[in-house]
Structure 1
Amino acid sequence: MKEVIVSWSGGKDSAYALSQLLESKDYKVKGLLSTTSEDTGRLPVHEVNRDLLRAQAESLDLPLFEVKLPAEADNITYEQALSGQFNKFKSVGIDTIAYADLYLEDIKHFRDSLVQRLGMNAIYPLWKKDTMAAAVGFLEAGFQAVVTTIDSQKLPDKLTGEIFSKDFVQSLPGNVDPCGENGEFHTFVFDGPIFNHKIEFETGNHFKTMNGRFIHCELK
């Protein structure tokens, strides 16, 4: 079996991709990889606190490898930080990272180029899967998630902090991807068939990033 590390945002696509790999006879998951901000202590864009990512990893019984990035890190800084962690993976015979992307060719190209430069390989368990089928499949499998972030140019602010559900998916405008693949929204998974126990949390204040474009719900 090929040993693999899963790129981990704590959201539904990451969890769904992880579940596919855990069921596979071809791969053995050896851990999760997340990048967090040294400044905020949160996962950039999703803005989920690292303590919640660690709680997920503990419930999944998998190690979390955390790469801490300085504020407003550019691509060079990002690559240098990942390079150090990738070298540690390679030193124990792990050379493959799994990403949960669905169809964005430019993102896949960026990831493929990055891992190739750093001497790694990339796999995509959900690649080209119909996004409505992925959203429904995630829910029907028994996963539970909360919406942590919305793009206020695409969705109403009030949806931040809502539970990701079939009603949520069905209420989305036609120009919004059911999985939020274009960044329309992001989620945090707090329970599901691959977790040993539910992640307990409370929703807190809403806050904004990117000059107010993205609305986030604080999770405690």
Structure 2
Amino acid sequence: MLSTVAGALSFLERRRLIQVIPDSFIQFLNEWEVRALILLSLTLQSLLSTLGNRRKYICKIWIRITLWCAYLLADWVAIVSLGIIAKSTLDDCQKGENVDDDPLNQLMWFWAQFFLLHLGGPDTITAYSLEDNELWLRHLVGLVIQTGLAFYILLVALPGSSWLPVLSILIFVAGLIKYGERLFALFASNSENFGTLW
């Protein structure tokens, strides 16, 4: 009995230590996390676009390390961002708030479609190495899940009265095509299919 009480007291003390972070700082992070991820995703996409083609004829180690890190982080940032936007959209809808009139929500929904476009990757680099082509099936599962998330966000955005949801539809279609192109390129470059599709 005494050990249970001591355990409960130590849990409460640890709980107070966790609450050292001020609520205002947590609120700041909640407001700026999507914006920071948008900037990070745009930076990674521009790095992949500029350095993706250069790796073929420039063998400097800093280009390879930067490109490899950008290649690994680009998909992760887009997937996490889509998840954050979808979760905040679902939370707002469950609270019963009128989310259609908020311009910040409409802008986040618009950017969700851009993250789907970012998952398609730039044309200069589809896969970092030949072994990445073997992972086309994992990208197919990612295509289904991430397209479903982006479509859910698009459905929530459509009742809005502004012109932004109409543009979101166009970006969604472009992102779906771009992601499908990347998946097909990985599938066609797979060791089992290489040269047989053409």
The structure whose residues are more often helix, as a share, is 2
The structure whose residues are more often strand, as a share, is 1
Bigger Rg over Cα: 2
TM-score in same-fold range (> 0.5): no
TM-score, normalised relative to structure 1: 0.24
TM-score, normalised relative to structure 2: 0.26
